Structure 1
Amino acid sequence: MPQPPPANWGPPAGPPPNWGPAPMPYPPLPRQKSKGPLVAVLIVGFLVLGVATIGIVAATSGSKEASDSGNAGYASYTYTPEPTTTTTTTTTTSAETTSRRSPSTSTPKAGPKASITLGDNPIHAAGLGAFNIDGCALPAMDYSPAGQDRFLRASLPCIEAMWKPSFERANLPYQPVELVMVTSQITNTCGNMGPDRTAMYCDGTIYWTPNHYANEQGSANPNHPGKYLGQLAHEYGHHIQWLSGILRASSQAQYEKGGWDTPEGLDLNRRKELQATCFGGMTLAPLSHGAVPGDVISVALTDAGNRGDYPIYPNRDHGAPEKNAAWVNHGFKNNETSACNTWVASAADVS
Structure 2
Amino acid sequence: MRFNPKARLDTGRVRDVRGGGGGGRGGTIPVPAGLLGRGGVVGTLLVVGIVLYNTFVAGGGAGGYDTSRMAQTSRYASCETGADANASSDCARVAVENSLYDYWSGELGDRFRPERAVETFTGSTDTGCGPASADVGPFYCPTDQTIYLDTTFFDEVLEKELGGPDGGFVEAYVLAHEYGHHIQNLLGTMGRVRTQQGANSDSVRLELQADCYAGMWAKAATSTDDGSGQPLISELTSDDIRLALEAAASVGDDRIQSKTSGQVDEETWTHGSAQARERWFTTGYRKGSLQACDTFAVDRVE
Residue identity in the other structure for 2:215 = G
Local SS of the residue matching 2:131: strand
Return 5+ residue gaps in structure 1 as ranges.
Answer: 1-23, 30-44, 66-72, 76-90, 100-135
- Percent of residue pairs bearing the same amino acid type: 21
* 1:156 Cα deviation from its structure 2 partner: 1.0
Cα pair 1:200 1:206 within 8 Å, conserved? yes
Assess if the C-alpha contact under 8 Å between 2:170 and 2:247 holds in 1.
yes
Select 2:150's aligned residue among 209, 221, 236.
209
Structure 1 position 292 matched with structure 2 position 235: yes
Aligned pairs for 1:114-193 within 5 A: 139-140=85-86, 142=88, 147=89, 149-168=90-109, 171-193=110-132
> Taking structure 1 as reference, are residues 214 and 25 closer, same or farther at Cα in structure 2, changes over 3 Å only?
same
- Judge which range, 193-202 or 305-314, deviates more: 305-314
Aligned AA (2:204): R
Verify: 1:239 aligned to 2:182, yes or no: yes
How many Å separate the matches in 1 of 2:137 and 2:295? 23
Q: Which amino acid aligns with 2:250?
A: N
Letter of the aligned partner of 2:182 in structure 1? Answer: H
TM-score for both structures, normalised by structure 1: 0.57
Question: 1 CA distance for matches of 2:183 and 2:296?
Answer: 15
Q: 1:27 to 1:231 in 2, by over 3 A?
A: closer
- CA drift at 1:137: 6.1
Distance (whole Å) between structure 2 residues aligned to residue 241 and residue 344 of structure 1: 15
Aligned-pair RMSD on alpha carbons?
3.9
Distance 1:288 1:61, change over 3 A: closer
Could you tell me how far 1:52 is from its partner in structure 2?
5.7
Q: Which residue of 2 aligns with 1:7?
A: none
Separation in structure 2 between the aligned mates of residue 341 and residue 184 of structure 1, nearest angstrom:
36
1:337 matched residue in structure 2: 290
Distance apart, 1:268 and its partner CA: 0.4
Q: Which amino acid aligns with 1:56?
A: L
Quick check: 190-199 or 300-309, which moved more?
Answer: 300-309
Shift of 1:58: 3.9
> CA, structure 1 residues 98+208, in 2 after alignment: closer, same or farther (shift >3 Å)?
farther
User: How far 1:64 sits from its partner (Å)?
Assistant: 2.4
2-structure distance, mates of 1:184, 1:159: 26
Runs of 5+ unmatched residues, structure 2: 1-27, 34-40, 77-81, 224-232, 259-263
Q: 180-189 vs 310-319, which deviates more?
A: 310-319
Task: Give deviations 1:114-155, integer Å, cap 9, x for gaps.
Answer: xxxxxxxxxxxxxxxxxxxxxx7671365xxxx4x3221121
Greater radius of gyration (CA): 1
Bigger helix share: 2
- In the alignment of these two chains, the number of paired residues is 237
Does the residue aligned with 1:340 lie in a helix, a strand or coil?
A: coil
Aligned partners of 2:152, 2:115: CA distance in 1, in Å? 25
In structure 2, how many angstroms separate the alpha carbons of the residues matched to 1:339 and 1:157?
24
Match of 2:212 among 278, 287, 306: 278
Distance 1:293 1:27 in 2: 34
- Is 1:222 the counterpart of 2:161? The answer is no
Is the alpha carbon distance of 1:62 and 1:200 closer, same or farther for their aligned partners in structure 2, counting shifts above 3 Å?
closer
Amino acid at match of 2:52: I
Contact 1:274 1:319 survives alignment (8 Å): yes
How far the C-alpha of 1:178 sits from its partner, in A, is 1.2
What secondary structure does 1:150 align onto? helix
**Normalised TM-score (structure 2):** 0.65
* Cross-structure match for 2:281: 328
1:47 matched to which residue of 2?
Answer: 43
